[in-house]
């Protein structure tokens, strides 16, 4: 999906003729930490809640944004994952989207982007979830799929992320089978580190708690 398909129409721009106090109130009304200053469809700056609070409340944005670095922007041809990466790198919850003429065509919010990507990686149907850890050099999708299928299970979705500063990969596998004991044994025989299994037959709250617990453990 292109970033242009994730434009959040609920986000209001910040105008250069507004004061810092007015801009801050606008961000708070929208439950945002960042806002995009736009004039004549051109992006002037991206301001943060903390930055606005650190300036004179009555100061006009047009007078104070000159000290800010050039604002990060997204192109309409970039993907949703590139958009998410950019927001993560800059730690902004809003970024402007521009076309080939540098005209701002809309804004992307972190919450909206997460929502769309989250729907893609969420378990699509009841079944079991298997989490394994593997070294990047040993990652073979074909082998992982073969092991899962050898246990009479099918992969409905798979999510990969880098952990331990790139030294390991966390592979989350969503399957159509709840009893994954046989699959786990096969992964162990192939020397995979199985971190856990989760079953969607339990209520979703317990499932989320167990999965979040694992994520917290890996991030410590």
pLDDT at residue 125 in the model: 67
pLDDT confidence bin for 68, thresholds 50/70/90: very high
Mean pLDDT of 175-190: 90
Residue 8, CB-side half-sphere exposure with 13 Å CA sphere: 24
Q: Write down the pTM of the prediction.
A: 0.60
Q: Per this entry, what is the length of the chain?
A: 220
Mean pLDDT of 48-77: 94
Please report, for residues 22, 106, 150, the alpha-carbon distance to residue 205 in angstroms, rounded to integers and kept in the order given. 40, 35, 30
pLDDT confidence bin for 219, thresholds 50/70/90: low
- Residue 92 DSSP code: -
Asked whether the predicted pLDDT for residue 25 surpasses 90, the reply is yes
Going by C-alpha positions, the residue among 198, 31, 195, 14 that lies closest to residue 107 is 14
Hey, what domains does the chain have and what are their CATH numbers?
3-118 (3.10.580.10), 123-219 (3.30.70.260)
Per the structure block, which two tokens stand in for 15? Answer: 């105008």
Asked whether the predicted pLDDT for residue 205 surpasses 60, the reply is no
pLDDT at residue 202 in the model: 44
Q: How many CB atoms lie within 10 A of CB 150?
A: 11
Residue 173, CB-side half-sphere exposure with 13 Å CA sphere: 29
Q: Which segments of the chain does DSSP mark as H helices, in order?
A: 20-29, 49-53, 61-64, 80-90, 110-121, 141-150, 181-189, 204-219
Mean pLDDT of 103-122: 80
- Find all residues with CB under 8 Å of 71, minimum gap 6, and list them: 36, 37, 43, 44, 45, 46, 96
């Amino acid at each position: 999906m292109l970033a242009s398909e994730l434009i959040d129409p609920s986000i209001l721009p910040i105008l250069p003729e507004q004061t810092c106090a007015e801009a801050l109130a606008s961000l708070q009304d929208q439950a945002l930490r960042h806002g995009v200053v736009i004039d004549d469809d051109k992006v002037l700056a991206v301001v943060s809640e903390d930055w606005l609070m650190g300036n004179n409340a009555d100061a006009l944005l047009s007078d104070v944004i000159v000290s800010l670095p050039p604002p990060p922007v997204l192109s309409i041809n970039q993907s949703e994952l590139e958009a998410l990466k950019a927001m993560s790198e800059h730690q902004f919850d809003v970024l402007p989207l521009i076309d080939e003429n540098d005209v701002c065509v809309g804004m992307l919010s972190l919450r909206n982007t997460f929502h769309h990507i989250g729907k893609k990686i969420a378990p699509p149907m009841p079944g079991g979830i298997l989490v394994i850890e593997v070294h990047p050099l040993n990652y073979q999708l074909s082998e992982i799929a073969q092991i899962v299928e050898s246990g009479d299970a099918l992969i409905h979705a798979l999510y990969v992320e880098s952990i331990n500063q790139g030294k390991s990969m966390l592979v989350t596998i969503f399957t159509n089978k709840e009893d994954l004991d046989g699959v786990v044994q096969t992964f162990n025989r192939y020397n995979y580190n199985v971190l856990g299994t989760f079953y969607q037959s339990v209520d979703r709250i317990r499932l989320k708690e167990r999965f979040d617990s694992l994520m917290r453990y890996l991030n410590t």
